[in-house]
Amino acid sequence: MEREPYKGYVLWGHAIAHQAELLTQERYAGSGTITQDNTLICTSGVLDLFDSEDDAQNAGLAWAKAWVDTHG
């Protein structure tokens, strides 16, 4: 989980390990969460599957920044 303060909010990028079948490469489901003053504001749900944990977390953070820029 990656945490980043942004415009008065705290954004979280999540990477959830996902393996479709036993012999396939592990991938990561990316999602984002937005909080403010320890209160949940919004969550993205699964955005997509990514080959690396960092890519999944970065996608979650990018989604959260876009949400704040639009709604915040």
Residue-wise pLDDT for 2-49, tens only, equals 999 999 999 999 999 987 666 677 899 999 999 999 999 999 999 999
CA torsion through residues 19, 23, 24, 28, sign = positive
Q: What pLDDT, on the 0 to 100 scale, is given for residue 1?
A: 87
Name the domain count of the chain. 1
| CA gap 53, 62 in Å, rounded | 14
Tell me the residue range of the domain where 19 lies: 2-71
Q: Are 33 and 11 in contact (CB under 8 A)?
A: yes
Q: What pLDDT, on the 0 to 100 scale, is given for residue 26?
A: 86
- Give the burial class of 49: count Cβ atoms within 10 A of its Cβ; 0-12 exposed, 13-18 middle, 19 or more buried: middle
Q: What pLDDT, on the 0 to 100 scale, is given for residue 60?
A: 98
pTM of structure: 0.90
